[in-house]
């Protein structure tokens, strides 16, 4: 890939006017983090129009990320959330189509695997707008996982597929998409490199669901849990029983999806049930935790970046690269199994870095420039 070298290009009015237009669509927490990593680089060479679908809307699931990470204010906020998958995706498609017809961008840029990703990609494909999919090729091979459907459909209608790690790139090859694909590295790693030293654990205060503010315990486990699969009373109570029986307390920021069930399940005295924290707080909690238990794709990679042992309560693999040397192990939502997997000691090979060099954003923008015929 070629590289644009002239940093003054940015200030040149003629160049500003010649810049191609990218509409970026985000909607959910992990996409705000990826946007924070990519947008500053993208805006050097493209005019970006940012669309927030509204899929995540609580202050601490959305606005806080824009504020803390200095993400530009969205040009459009579509205010669409809730309902069934089809209702949400359908409403988003209609609203995004209107934006795309008005803005007439040269590219649509989408991240990951949410309903916002799929809706935007479908709307753009029908308008013949080229699509750039960041985090392409991730496959769990589990078609009951709603995100798997979003990932596969988005990849197959995209023009430019940017994989975060070798496994995703290989999946794209297997599906005959190699000629549109590049391996660029993981934008979550870019974000981790950029932001993981911003907060220090001693400054951190946690807000319990009751509103009371508490300190972070000196030693603790970190739990996040929000997948559809783990919102049931049976699964969630097994996970909580496991965490409650550990030698140190667990810090658990409760995702809005699980809040009602958590309140129903009642008291677990060794767990701090806290409101969702911002990204800077979350990676600080990851870095200082004893071990991590999660069902989140992003958290599994962050545990890996921080060298923390992780147990993933899912029955499918999201990031095969992390599943080495006991660093990340799958568990069923069963108390005994979670505890057993958690007791395994990991082995860390410092030279093993499957998620790139923290410069995925630069490679994404280079790929976009190249495909746009703009490399100088
Ligand atoms: N995260 C956060 N606050 C929290 C819990 C998680 O900022 O209270 C961050 C976490 O560090 C990771 C991202 O949210 O960067 C993961 O998002 P999520 O679990 O919602 O989605 P997934 O990664 O499963 O798609």
CATH code of the domain in which 289 resides: 3.40.50.2000
Does 226 qualify as catalytic in the annotation? yes
In a domain, 60, yes or no: yes
Q: Which residues of the chain have pLDDT under 70?
A: 1-12, 14, 16-17, 375-376
Q: Are residues 47 and 175 in the same domain?
A: yes
Residues 90 and 235 in one domain: no
Number of compact structural domains in the chain: 2
CA 238 / ligand 1 centre spacing (Å): 21
Separation CA 94–CA 23 (nearest Å): 15
In a domain, 227, yes or no: yes
Question: Do the strands 205-207 and 213-215 form a parallel or antiparallel pair, or are they unpaired?
Answer: antiparallel
Tell whether 230 and 139 lie within a shared domain: no
Instruction: Decide: 218 and 204 in contact? Cβ < 8 Å.
Output: no
195 belongs to a structural domain: no
CB burial of residue 238 (10 Å; 0-12, 13-18, 19+): buried
Question: Closest residue (by CA) to atom 17 of ligand 1?
Answer: 30
Q: Do residues 74 and 167 both lie within one domain?
A: yes
Name the residue of 224, 254, 305 whose CB sits within 8 Å of the most ligand 1 atoms, as the mutation to test its pocket: 224
The answer to whether residues 366 and 275 belong to one domain is no
Nearest CA to ligand 1 atom 15: 298
Instruction: Looking at the structure, tell me whether residues 92 and 59 fall in a common domain.
Output: yes
2 lies in a domain? no
Q: How far is 270 from 312, CA to CA, in rounded Å?
A: 20
Phi, psi values for residue 223, rounded to 5°: -120, 130
In a domain, 163, yes or no: yes
Q: Do 31 and 174 belong to one domain? A: yes
Looking at the fold, whether 160 and 268 belong to one and the same domain comes out as no
CB-count exposure of residue 213 (10 Å: 0-12, 13-18, 19+):
exposed
Compute how many other C-beta atoms are within 10 angstroms of the C-beta atom of residue 321.
21
301 lines ligand 1 (CB under 6 A): no
Q: Are residues 151 and 48 in the same domain?
A: yes
CA distances, 133 to each of 24, 26, 33, 89, 156 (Å)? 10, 12, 15, 17, 10
Domain that residue 67 falls in: 9-186+356-372
pLDDT score for 228? 83
Residues 307 and 207 in one domain: yes
Tell me, yes or no, whether 349 lies in a domain: no
* 59 and 125 inside one domain: yes
Write down the pLDDT at residue 17: 67
Q: Whose structure tokens read 């935007």? A: 120
Q: Could you tell me if residue 191 is inside a domain? A: no
Radius of gyration of the chain (CA): 20
Same domain, 115 and 223: no
Task: State in Å: Cα 299 to ligand 1 middle.
Answer: 6
The answer to whether residue 105 is domain-embedded is yes
């Amino acid at each position: 890939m070629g590289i644009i070298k002239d940093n003054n290009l940015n200030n040149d009015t003629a160049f500003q006017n010649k810049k191609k237009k990218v509409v970026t669509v985000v909607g959910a927490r992990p996409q705000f983090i990826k946007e924070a990593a990519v947008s500053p680089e993208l805006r050097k060479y493209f005019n970006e129009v940012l669309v927030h679908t509204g899929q995540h809307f609580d202050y601490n699931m959305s606005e806080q990320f824009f504020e803390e990470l200095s993400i530009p204010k969205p040009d459009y906020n579509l205010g669409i959330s809730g309902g069934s998958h089809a209702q949400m995706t359908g409403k988003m498609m209609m609203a995004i189509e209107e934006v795309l017809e008005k803005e007439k961008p040269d590219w649509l840029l989408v991240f990951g695997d949410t309903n916002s990703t799929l809706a935007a990609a479908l709307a753009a494909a029908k308008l013949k707008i080229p699509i750039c999919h960041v985090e392409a090729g991730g496959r769990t091979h589990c078609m009951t996982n709603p995100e798997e459907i979003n990932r596969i459909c988005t990849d197959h209608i995209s023009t430019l597929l940017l994989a975060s790690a070798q496994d995703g790139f290989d999946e794209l090859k297997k599906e005959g998409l190699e000629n549109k694909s590049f391996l660029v590295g993981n934008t979550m790693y870019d974000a981790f490199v950029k932001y993981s030293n911003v907060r220090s654990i001693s400054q951190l205060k946690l807000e319990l669901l009751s509103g009371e503010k508490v300190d972070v315990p000196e030693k603790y486990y970190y739990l996040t849990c929000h997948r559809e699969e783990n919102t049931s009373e049976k699964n969630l109570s097994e996970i909580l029983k496991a965490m409650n029986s550990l030698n140190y307390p667990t810090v658990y920021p409760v995702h809005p999806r699980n809040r009602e069930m958590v309140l129903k399940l009642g008291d677990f005295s060794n767990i701090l049930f806290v409101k969702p924290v911002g990204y800077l707080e979350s990676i600080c909690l990851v870095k200082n935790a004893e071990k991590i238990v999660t069902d989140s794709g992003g958290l599994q990679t962050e545990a890996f970046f921080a060298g923390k042992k992780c147990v993933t309560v899912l029955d499918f693999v999201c990031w095969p690269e992390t599943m080495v040397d006991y660093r990340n192990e799958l568990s069923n939502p069963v108390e005994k199994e979670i505890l057993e997997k958690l007791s395994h000691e990991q082995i860390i090979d410092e030279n093993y870095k499957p998620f790139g060099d923290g410069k995925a954003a630069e490679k994404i923008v280079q790929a976009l420039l190249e495909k746009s015929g703009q490399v100088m």
